[in-house]
Amino acid sequence: MTIDLQTLKCGECGSNALKRTGLNQYACQHCGSVTLVEDNVSDRLDRVLEQVKNEAGRRLAADEVQRRKAMLRNAGIGVAVVAVVLLVSAVIGMLAGPRPSTNASAARPVVAPPVDRTIPTDGLKLGEPRQVLVGGGSSAVPKLLVVARNDTGKPLARAGIKAVYYDGDNRVEERTETLPVSVLEPGESVPALIDMPSGKNVTRQELTVQKLAEPYKAVQGERMTFARVRLVQQAERVRLVGRIVNARKDAAMLSGIDVLATLYDDAGQVIGLGHGYAQANELKPGAQTSVDLSIARFGRAAAIAAWDYRIGYNTVDAGGSRTAVLNAERLVRAAGAPESFNPDLRLSTEDLLAEDSERFDANQLELLPLVAGRSNIQRPLFLTELVNRSADAVVVAPGGVISRFGGSKADGTTAIAGLAYLYPGERFPILLEPNAVERITQTRVEWKPMRRAALPGPRAPLEVQVTGTKAETGSVLLNFSQRFTYKSVEVTGTVKNPGNNVVGKVRLWVSLRDRNGQLTGFRQVQNLPAIAPGESVPFQVDVEQNGRDFASVSTLYQTE
């Protein structure tokens, strides 16, 4: 504790230059005399603090009294206001309301009993769960497969299952999964996949049904089926693609269209499951949309013997309110294996769902005879071209897989890809490089399902002009020991847009031809910019000459 020395003065010389030298003892730094202070400074400070505390208590008490008075005053005003409101309401009711009935048995207000919407969870029956591996190879993921059946007698919205996993008596982890349908119909069964703990040992699991509830709004309605549907398989990948048409006679808007597809083996056991939604969020009367589901496979040793699908949907009224449509017979079953396609084919939803009248006849495509050549390190290669022999149809997104053979020995495949369309008479260059044979003697082509377009077709017209060619010779060093020389041609030119719209994503192929018109080398021009109306852009590309000396240059272009 410190003392303000300015309140003390020396008794001899009156100076206040005092220094504390002991308890209640101070020495004068001016004359050297010692001064004793008789009262205890700590006692004096205690008295001061006590006075401050008493004053603070008095002020707090006064503030509390004022606060209570204000509360009583406000409460009185509130009571008066409520009384006035009640009085006015009563007067208005007597003047405007109906006269009280003189009948002693006048109807009294009826209070509706609360609706009990709870559904006992024991009505959702769970089958015996089994562990499965979803996916293949190192990417396979363990999941728990369980089949749930709705025996509640009521439709269930977004029913869920909780799985608690154990390693012996130790609780490892818990996961919750919603059934893969928006509404589970009464008597309907549905499989579900529940995630399992990753990298942990699981010896058993306990399954419980989560709280059950009916859809907020639901009505019985028409069963929805696909207008066109295909189950296709490419290697281990299985897809269900289908077209949905809003053909309801009441002209209702549809939304929330979801599809569940299930695969079965010949014993009726579930071996695949896929769930997804239509591409369109809302479907107007008469409109159509498509669905493309990837189905998760498990039990790969078993072949697909049967499959089914079910479609759920809602109707939308003018106010935007949704109503779930129920139909106990919505499940559509089919027997048989999926259609199998080469895994290298790029199959779009539009390609698979095209009608017969929309399809391009693959017999109108021709693969020209192979032309032998050499790469820049003198390895054998072969050149060919894909030609559209149709007189009036454009093939949309042509594609296929060329199987190569050297004699009777298979030598791998080459995919035909990269084209958005091919017009009548046009030639698309293709390079075939042998893998384990010295010479390719024959080829076989597996075409994908392709669509057609009538002329003038989808391509924006461009004017491609070759302005110059320059023959060159280059060399390449292989493994720091062998040097090879090769011929190339520098081709320059321009691409002009004569139309009225900007053309973007221009792709251009430049081909070299010998004096007989056979292909002797080609290359795609990269990074062409968008072209404004009336403008042109230059291009320059070095094309290796793989066959005989070139005599002419041809081009093929695409726009999107």
Same domain for 162 and 250, yes or no, is: no
Structure tokens at 462: 């461009």
Question: Which is nearest to 388 in space by CA: 363, 355, 421, 425?
Answer: 425
Residue 75 is predicted with a pLDDT of: 57
Please, are residues 126 and 191 in contact by the beta-carbon 8 Å criterion? no
Same domain for 197 and 275, yes or no, is: no
Same domain for 407 and 492, yes or no, is: no
Residue 153 lies in a domain: yes
Same domain for 242 and 334, yes or no, is: yes
Question: Which is nearest to 497 in space by CA: 489, 506, 488, 484?
Answer: 506
Residue 136 is predicted with a pLDDT of: 78
Same domain for 435 and 503, yes or no, is: no
Structure tokens at 358: 């929309």
Residue 186 lies in a domain: yes
CATH number, domain at 485?
A: 2.60.40.10
Same domain for 251 and 325, yes or no, is: yes
Helices (H), 37-182: 41-96
Structure tokens at 161: 């299952």
The whole domain housing 368 covers: 350-454
C-alpha to C-alpha distance for 433 and 426, rounded to whole angstroms: 23
Whether the bond between 155 and the residue before it is cis, its omega within 30 degrees of 0, is no
C-alpha to C-alpha distance for 247 and 227, rounded to whole angstroms: 10
Question: Which is nearest to 338 in space by CA: 194, 233, 193, 263?
Answer: 233
As for how many domains the chain has, the answer is 5
pTM over 0.75: no
Q: Which residue has the tokens 């075409």?
A: 447
Residue 318 is predicted with a pLDDT of: 87
Q: Which of 454, 489, 509 is the last residue of a domain?
A: 454
273 burial via Cβ count (<10 Å: 0-12, 13-18, 19+):
buried
Looking at residue 212, what DSSP letter applies? Answer: B
Please, are residues 419 and 394 in contact by the beta-carbon 8 Å criterion? no
* Size (the chain), residues: 560
Residues near 329 by Cβ (< 8 Å), separated by ≥ 6? 223
Q: Which of 454, 481, 498 is the last residue of a domain?
A: 454
Question: Which is nearest to 503 in space by CA: 522, 484, 530?
Answer: 530
Same domain for 129 and 187, yes or no, is: yes
Same domain for 370 and 404, yes or no, is: yes
Same domain for 327 and 230, yes or no, is: yes
- Three-state DSSP class for residue 226: coil
Q: Which of 302, 320, 340 is the last residue of a domain?
A: 340
C-alpha to C-alpha distance for 253 and 148, rounded to whole angstroms: 31
Structure tokens at 439: 């010479």
CATH number, domain at 414?
A: 2.60.40
Residue 64 lies in a domain: no
Residue 107 lies in a domain: no
**What are the backbone dihedrals phi and psi of residue 41, each rounded to the nearest 5 degrees, phi first?**
-65, -40
Residue 106 is predicted with a pLDDT of: 44
Residue 80 lies in a domain: no
Please, are residues 242 and 291 in contact by the beta-carbon 8 Å criterion? yes
Please, are residues 159 and 320 in contact by the beta-carbon 8 Å criterion? no
Tens digit of pLDDT for each residue in 255-285?
999 999 999 999 999 999 999 999 999 999 9
Helix or strand run (H / E) with residue 126 = strand 124-126
Residue 437 lies in a domain: yes
C-alpha to C-alpha distance for 97 and 549, rounded to whole angstroms: 107
Same domain for 325 and 354, yes or no, is: no
Please, are residues 446 and 400 in contact by the beta-carbon 8 Å criterion? yes
Ranges under pLDDT 70 in the chain: 1-16, 22-26, 29-117
Same domain for 319 and 399, yes or no, is: no
C-alpha to C-alpha distance for 421 and 451, rounded to whole angstroms: 10
Please, are residues 531 and 506 in contact by the beta-carbon 8 Å criterion? yes
Question: Which is nearest to 402 in space by CA: 388, 391, 415, 387?
Answer: 415
Same domain for 235 and 205, yes or no, is: no
Number of Cβ atoms within 10 Å of the Cβ of 264: 19
Residues near 248 by Cβ (< 8 Å), separated by ≥ 6? 222, 254, 285
Residue 79 lies in a domain: no
Residue 96 lies in a domain: no
Residue 481 is predicted with a pLDDT of: 85
